[in-house]
């Protein structure tokens, strides 16, 4: 067991301003590192959410492209794609053009209201 003077010396070292200052600095550094890790984890969580959302949109696009590929593997799909892109027709087909009536539609201008007329007060 330590004798009385050794205990008093140890107690005086532990209670000195320098030792307490060093312990406070170490505690501050540890708190600062913990805060930095927390902010980094928060940013990474936001980035992960964005990446997961982007992955979901890419999965949806992949599904739509696979459906389109399946449609284009069929003879009917190939024919419709050719008609749409190259404006071709089979022999004997005719084009029907539908024209609309050329009647004028009268448009009334919208009434503009000021904030005082509608009862809205800025404050």
For residue range 17-57, what is the model confidence (pLDDT) as tens digits? 999 999 999 999 999 999 999 999 999 999 999 999 999 99
Nearest to 11 by CA among 3, 104, 91, 47: 3
Structural domain includes residue 102 = no
Report the percent of the chain where pLDDT is more than 90.
46
pLDDT of residue 105: 64
CA separation, residue 38 to residues 8, 33, 48, 52 (Å): 41, 9, 15, 21
pLDDT of residue 118: 56
Domain count, the chain: 1
Q: Is residue 39 within 8 Å of 33, Cβ to Cβ?
A: no
Q: Is residue 104 within 8 Å of 111, Cβ to Cβ?
A: no
DSSP summary character for residue 95: -
Mean pLDDT for 69-97 is 84
Structural domain includes residue 121 = no
Q: Look up the domain containing 64 and give its range.
A: 4-86
CA separation, residue 44 to residues 36, 37, 47, 61 (Å): 12, 10, 5, 25
Structural domain includes residue 97 = no
DSSP summary character for residue 110: P
pLDDT band at 121 (very low <50, low <70, confident <90, very high): low
Structural domain includes residue 118 = no
Mean pLDDT for 87-94 is 79
DSSP summary character for residue 34: H
> Which region, left, alpha or beta, applies to residue 17 given φ > 0 means left and ψ of -120 to 50 means alpha?
alpha
pLDDT of residue 59: 97
Structural domain includes residue 91 = no
């Amino acid at each position: 067991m330590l004798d009385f003077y050794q205990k008093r010396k140890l107690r005086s070292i532990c209670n000195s301003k320098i030792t307490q200052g060093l312990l406070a600095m170490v505690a501050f550094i540890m708190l600062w590192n913990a805060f930095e890790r927390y902010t980094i984890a928060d940013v990474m969580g936001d980035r992960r959410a964005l990446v997961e959302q982007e992955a979901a949109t890419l999965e949806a696009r992949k599904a739509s492209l696979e459906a389109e590929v399946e449609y284009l593997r069929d003879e009917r799909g190939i024919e419709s794609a050719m008609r749409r892109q190259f404006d071709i027709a089979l022999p004997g087909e005719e084009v029907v053009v539908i024209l609309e009536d050329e009647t004028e539609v009268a448009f009334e201008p919208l009434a503009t209201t000021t904030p005082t007329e509608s009862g809205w007060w800025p404050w």
